[in-house]
Amino acid sequence: MADRKSFLLRIDSGVLEGVQRWANDDLRSLNAQIEYLLRDALRKAGRAPKGPAATDPPPPTPTDRDPMTDT
């Protein structure tokens, strides 16, 4: 397992709410969504870390979601 570190993030409340909604849509926690976005930005910039921990699973498709819990 990759070494995990924690840190304090100061973020605009509107941005945080938007990322939280996005995380909910993708069935991720807020923390996992932020990490996913950072990894995606690193990959697109050609700065992604190497190794097995550097890849994230794709977001779930609408057919993977539970219709009983979706609103």
Percent of the chain having pLDDT more than 90?
Answer: 62
Provide mean pLDDT across the span 27-56: 88
pLDDT score of 10 more than 60: yes
pLDDT tier at 70 (50, 70, 90 boundaries)? Answer: low
Spatial separation of the C-alpha atoms in residues 42 and 39, rounded to whole Å? 5
Where in the chain are the domains? Answer: 13-54
Res 37: pLDDT: 96
What's the pLDDT score for residue 42?
95
For residue 1, the number of C-alpha atoms closer than 13 Å in the C-beta half-sphere is 3
Spell out the alpha helix ranges (H) of the chain: 13-25, 30-44
pLDDT of 55 over the 70 cut: no
